[in-house]
Structure 1
């Protein structure tokens, strides 16, 4: 039975057998029976990590250890509000800091990002509207049917936990609901290159 640790672009955390390309951390979200409670974060430093680092081994959802979350790719991690880890992804972390214009300790940025990605006390992710023409590659939007799509070139890629579906032509303009938090969309505009699963 898959654990409930697969993060979606909408911010939902579901049970799904596919692990994905990246792991994430928001603190301890599970109980001794490996079940998620109501909380969806315990701190503001939401990071995205590589799956293998210095031969470290972890038993998933161990008692009192952080909950290992998984993402299809980095675009999904961004949509969910995660940034690169400063330890296991140092080069990506440094590229991220440069694109975000961060010159102070990362905690200040994490606090600012947190305020623009979640609804306080409701464990929900913030969404906003923008013109699709102004969105960079790598941003996620919500279609009118409620499905998540990745903006990529002149296409929208329908998301599923197993990967992306056949591309749909991206409209030239029009207001859309954006899932990727605004500060991370700004990082994409500044040239940060995401690691995206092959469509």
Structure 2
């Protein structure tokens, strides 16, 4: 049985066999038996590469951070994660430069604090109503209860098995990708999407 450590665009954690292309963490979320007990422990939600300097981890070790996996980078961004400053240093520097130009903050703690406010309203996800035509490529919306990706070729319904074509949503949509991250996408932040367009 797979571990409960696969993350959907809403940031919820599932036990499914698909692992994904990206790795990340939010602190230690599991108990000694490996059961997820909380959604996050820290504000620093990062996305990492799955292979870095040959490091190997035993998954879901008691007292250690919970290893999370994302289908693609668009999923990780929608869930509210940002690039890791260590294993994705070049991506982090590009991300931080865009962030600083737009918001004036450059320290990771400042960025993480703003992202924490942008992704959560209490314990619920923070959704922002926007015009569908303004959603940048790489961002996701919640349409009829389902995450939908905006890509160059149109709209795509998300699942752990991949994307399927979706009809264009209504004129107003609920932006699922936290607004500051969507803004960076509009400014040119590259986003890896596992989609054959």
Please, what TM-score do these two structures have when normalized by structure 1? 0.93
Q: How does 1:32-111 map to 2 (within 5 A)?
A: 32-37=32-37, 39-101=38-100, 103-111=105-113
Are the counterparts in 1 of residues 129 and 174 from structure 2 also a CA contact under 8 Å? yes
Q: Which runs of 5+ in 1 are unaligned?
A: none
CA distance in 2: counterparts of 1:85 and 1:33, whole angstroms = 27
CA contact (8 A) 2:4 2:15 kept: yes
Match of 1:114 in 2: 116
Runs of 4+ in 1 over 4 A off after TM superposition: none
Distance in 2 (CA, whole Å) between partners of 1:169 and 1:118 is: 28
User: Quick check: 2:97–2:106 contact (8 Å CA) kept in 1?
Assistant: no
SS at match of 1:57: coil
Give the match's secondary structure for 1:188.
helix
The 5 A counterparts of 1:1-199 are: 1-37=1-37, 39-101=38-100, 103-120=105-122, 122=123, 124-144=124-144, 146-165=145-164, 167-170=165-168, 174-199=171-196
Shift of 1:170: 3.0
SS of 1:31 mapped into structure 2 = coil
Residue by residue over 1:112-140, the C-alpha shift from the partner in whole angstroms, topping out at 9 and shown as x without a partner, is 110111123x2x32111100001100111
In the aligned structure 2, how far is the partner of 1:26 from the partner of 1:104?
A: 20
Structure 2 spans left out of the alignment, 5+ residues: none
